[in-house]
Structure 1
Amino acid sequence: MTIHIMSATLVPEKNETYITEFILLGLSSEFQPLLFVIFVLIYLFTLTGNTVIILIVSLDLHLHTPMYLFLRSLSLTEMLYTTVTVPRMLRDFLHKDKGISRASCAAQFYFFCCLGASECFILAFMAYDRYLAICHPLHYMTKMTKSKCLYISLGSWLTGLILPLANIIVVFRLPFCKSNIIDHFFCDILQVIHLACEETPPSTLLEIKLYVLVYTFLVIPLPFMLILLSYIGIFISVLKIRSAAGRNKAFSTCVSHMTSVSLFFGTATITYLRTEAINTSGGPKVWSLLFLVFVPMINPLIYSLRNNEVKKALQRLGQKHFLETIHN
């Protein structure tokens, strides 16, 4: 393994060395070129799949409904969410110098938090949309309009931009002098906090942990509880439907979203609310890969393969393009 020299600034009056650059260990393996090819293909597939979803929803007027407008926002968020971490990981596969400045590390973590929080909120509103559509169908079109969908999406992104600010400020103002090595493929707050100097006041560390706990609760358990409440209401309403065909039709509109929620919140919860037993043997990296890399790749498949409306829209756009090509 290559030995990295700590980049730091000396502070004479305290006789200590403070870190100005971190080293991302990444996914250490002797198969770096192979991993690079695999993750490049996954990243390109993720970008392509989510771009297709965005274009289909934008171009097909039949899909200008709240459910698909939220899906477009989700796809855009996941594209940006993946782009915050994966390109840097791909770069580190091919470079021996894995250094990242303190400012760049803070910026990467900030945008990771912003987009992750936004995705949680959008998934929660998608569940609420399904609740209104199934439980209050007569008032659905008045309670969930296109303009409200736009405001909700913008609100989710704006909230995502604001919430992580306190975490970023308190964590990256800390003096770091234990080590400059982050055993991860991106700047994750759990690893960064552990690099704080030993003389950091316990009250400061407690304050930081409180900030992180509050933030984590707001972006993971709270949206998940709202999703759970929405689906409890949906299940109660669906069970009241007498015909089996009616029940199946109602449930079919929720399957894709429930699958996406289970994958994203399941892996995110294990990653950030895990026990110490999961911290060993590269556990954090593996779980982070699942919700940062694989879930955004799988979501376009979930929403396209299991959704007849998306398939029909894709066929309509294909036929329209074919006819335009013939006429030209």
Structure 2
Amino acid sequence: MGLLSTTSCGFDDGYDKEDTGDDNVKVAFRMAFVNDNTRAVNDGWEDYNPTDPGDSYENAINADQLQIKVCDKDGNIIGDVQDVRVIDDQITGTWEKAGDLLKQANKIMVFANCGTDNVTQDNISSLAFRVDQTKQYIPMWGVTTLTKDLVVGKQNNLGTIDLLRSLAKVKVKMADGMKARGYALGNITFNNYNTEGYTLPQTYNTSKNTKEILFSGSLNAKPSWSQSVTMTNTDEESIMLYIPEYDNKAAAADKKASITLNLKCDGTDDGTYTLQFCNYVDGVADPSTLYNIQRNHYYEYTVNKDDRLNVTLKVLKWNKRTHSEIIM
């Protein structure tokens, strides 16, 4: 089993001019995670800390579960890139016997950590996973549009293909100074969530480039409702969990996503509170501003206790270090 380390650097000059001397289409590229900034791809999200739990998990790619597909302009699969190899941080492969399909080639799609079953035109829109299957690897997908025609008998450099994780990341943390005052997180229950998810966003077939996928219109939640899951006696300053997409805005009133938080102080119960997926104004929830739970986004709650519990919720792009504004 191989584990890939991604980067966003370019290929050496002349790589795509190499003559392979055969009738196949050779492709090569690197993978990165969508972050919309110019820093190295694994610099991470705002207030990034390389020792943050889950960091290696979030960026891990199983080389044995890596598939590359050639698609037409409508996102239909027309060819398989085979003999996929990992050479340092470069991914290479071969599209054999492209023939007349070569002139239809318009996009390249990458499927990572999606299992070993072959992705085909018949199953691409229904690719899905259970959350209990993502404990080691997060399913990911990405697309790029070719900037020039693929050439037979040459190495074709595709540059960097950005990937979207199919899960959302949720973190609950205490504000600075609370631990020194004796506070800790107790039991935490996530209420109303999906146990399964679709690997691809709704707009997978119309998107030209992973980075161009808009938040609005791309939600592709797989109905698989579960009432709750509880993490017991965490006694930590923060907790994280990873969940599939959830259409929170369309959910019935009694099935809106929320987090039930038990707070401790000096080892004893200090109250139970509900955190909602919505905007917070002066530390208080505004239920009229509900958020969906969407793939590749990071939902960070910060709780602070004085005379009452004050909550802040930031919704961030997962790998973006700085944000001029909240994106939802």
Give the shorter-chain TM-score range: under 0.3
Q: TM-score, normalised by structure 2?
A: 0.24
Q: TM-score, normalised by structure 1?
A: 0.24
Higher strand share: 2
Higher helix share: 1
* Greater relative CO (CA pairs within 8 A, separation 6+): 1
